[in-house]
Amino acid sequence: MKTTYIMQKEIRESILTPKGFLWYILASIILSVLSYLFLTNSELSLLDQGQMLYMIMNFITALGLLMGLVFGADAFAGEIERGTLEALFISPVNKTEIAIGKLGAALTNWWIIFVISLPYLFVVGKGGQNLLTGIVYLAILGTLLPLSFPPFPWDFQRG
Amino acid sequence: MIVNVDNLVKRYNDYTALDGLNFDVREGDIFGFLGPNGAGKTTTIRILTGIIKADSGNILINGYDIFREPMAVKEIINALPESNGYYEWMTAREYLKFFSNLYEEEMSGQEIDSLLEAVGLHGKEGHLIRSYSRGMKQRLGIARALINKPKLLFLDEPTNGLDPKGRRDIHDLLIDLNRKQGTTVFLSTHLLDDVERLCNRIAIINYGKIVRAGEVKKGTIEDIFFLSTKEGAL
C-alpha cells in the first residue's frame, strides 16, 4: 500500500506535469513525422511492412528508454538534490518499497508511450502479418527495459 | 533511557566522522546536542534515524536496536533533517496527507488542519508549498515530523535561517510538545541561546567524540562549549 502512495506521488511529480505532457506531445510529433515519411516517401515506402514496423518499433523503444531514463534519473537524483529523500527514509518505509513505487511510475510512463504509439503502429503495419506479434513484443520489451535502469532497484538497495 | 548510544563509529573512507561515540538520552528530556561545524552532529542524527548505517557500535532507541529493528524504531520517532526538502508542487495539506499515509495513520482533513494550525500555518493549508517562506517551510517540516505523534523527535538545526519571531514560535512549540505530550526532543544545534532556553541536558561533540555531557546550568553554556571544543580539549 505504501508503494502505491509513493507511485502516485511519482506519477503526479513527473508525469502529470507540463514537462511530462510536453514529452508526450513531442513523442506524438516524432511518431507522426516518422509514420508520414514511411507511407509517403518514395524510397521508404519501398520497404515491406515488416521492415517498416520493425523500424518504427525501434524508434518507440528508444523514445521509451530515453524518457524512462530522464524520469528515472530525476526520481532519485532529483529527490537527493531537493533534499526530499531523507524525509522518506525517516518514514517507516523500506528502500524496496520506495524503489518499487518509483519503478511503478517508470512503467506507467512506458505504458503511456505504448498507448500513444498504438495508432501509428496500426497505420504503418496495417494488413501486415507481423503486426500483432510486433505489438506484443514491443509491450514486453518496453516493460522489461525500466528494470535495467541503473537506480532500480538493486543498486538502490545497497545504498 | 530512550536513547542509548554505545561506541558508535562511522568512517567515510579515511575520515573518521564518529570515533567511539557514547551518550544517553532520558525520556522526557529536551536534549541539546552541540558541537562546532563538522563535529559529527548531522552524521549522528542520520544514523540514529536509520538514514545511514554505522560501521560499528550499538544504538538502542526505546529498547529497539536501530540496525536490527529499524521499522519498529521509525514508528516511534520522527525527525526534521537540517536540509529538509519539500515537494513544492504539493499543498501543505497534500504533503501531510502523503506522509501520514506512509505511517498508515489515515489522518482526516480536520486532523491535518489542526496540526497545521498548531505550527502556525492556519489559513495557508491549501497554498502550494512553493509559495511558502523559509520559516513557513520549517514549520511545515515540524508538522510533518509530528504526524505520528513521536515519542522521540530529532531536530537538526531547526531554527537556522529563521527570524526572531520564527525562532520564538518554534521554541514555544517544542516546550509545549515536551510538557504537554511528553515528547523527548533531541535538538542538534550550534545556537547556544537556543540550548540555554530549551534544553535540560546536553552533550557536546567534537571530532566525533563526546567531550562533555550533563545537566544545563543557566549562564554557563558558552563557557562550557568553548572550553570543551577548543583545539586540544581532547
Asked if A95 has any chain B CB less than 8 Å from its own CB, the reply is: no
How far is residue A104's CA from residue B212's CA, in Å, rounded to a whole number?
Answer: 49
Mean pLDDT of chain B, nearest integer:
90
pLDDT in tens, chain B (234 residues): 899 999 999 999 889 999 999 999 999 999 999 998 888 999 999 999 999 999 999 999 999 999 999 999 999 999 999 888 999 999 999 999 999 999 877 788 899 999 999 888 888 889 999 999 888 899 999 999 999 999 999 999 888 777 888 888 889 989 998 998 899 999 998 888 889 889 999 999 999 999 988 888 777 788 888 887 775 454
Q: Is the separation of the CB atoms in B69 and B79 below 8 Å?
A: no
Average the pLDDT over A9-17 and give the result. 89
Question: Taking the mean position of all CA atoms in its chain, how far away is CA A154?
Answer: 20
* Secondary structure tally for chain B: helices H, strands E: 8, 10
Which of A1, A13, A92 is closest, CB to CB, to B71?
A: A92
Which of B83, B102, B144 is closest, CB to CB, to A83?
A: B83
Interface residue of A5, A10, A14, A91 to substitute, partner B, most B CBs within 10 Å: A91
Q: Provide the Cα torsion B189, B194, B197, B203; round to 10°.
A: 20
Which stretches of chain B are assigned E, i.e. beta strand? 3-12, 15-25, 30-34, 56-61, 64-65, 77-80, 152-156, 184-189, 201-206, 209-215
Asked if A91 has any chain B CB less than 8 Å from its own CB, the reply is: yes
* Secondary structure tally for chain A: helices H, strands E: 8, 0
Q: Is the separation of the CB atoms in B170 and B138 below 8 Å?
A: yes
Residues in chain A: 159
Asked if A93 has any chain B CB less than 8 Å from its own CB, the reply is: yes
- ipTM greater than 0.95, yes or no? no
Tell me how many domains chain A contains. 1
Side by side, the strands of the sheet bearing B30-34 are: B77-80, B152-156, B184-189, B30-34, B201-206, B209-215
Average the pLDDT over A67-78 and give the result. 82
Query: pLDDT class for A149, splitting at 50, 70, 90?
Result: low
pLDDT value at residue A95:
86
Q: What share of chain B is helix, strand, coil (3-state, %, to 5)?
A: 35, 25, 35
Nearest CA in chain B to A2: B102
Q: What are phi and psi of B219, to 5 degrees?
A: 85, 5
Q: Which of B62, B69, B61 is nearest to B44 (CA)?
A: B61
How far is residue A117's CA from residue A114's CA, in Å, rounded to a whole number?
Answer: 5
Complete domains list, chain B, with CATH: 3-86+138-229 (3.40.50.300)
Grid look-up 531537493 returns A82
Residues of A in contact with B71 (CB under 8 A): 92, 94
**Cα–Cα–Cα angle for A144, A145, A151, rounded to 5 degrees:** 110
Which of A17, A84, A93 is closest, CB to CB, to B86?
A: A84
Q: What are phi and psi of A128, to 5 degrees?
A: -75, 155
β B15-25/B3-12 pair status: antiparallel
How far is residue A20's CA from residue A81's CA, in Å, rounded to a whole number?
Answer: 20
Task: Give residue A100's domain range.
Answer: 2-158
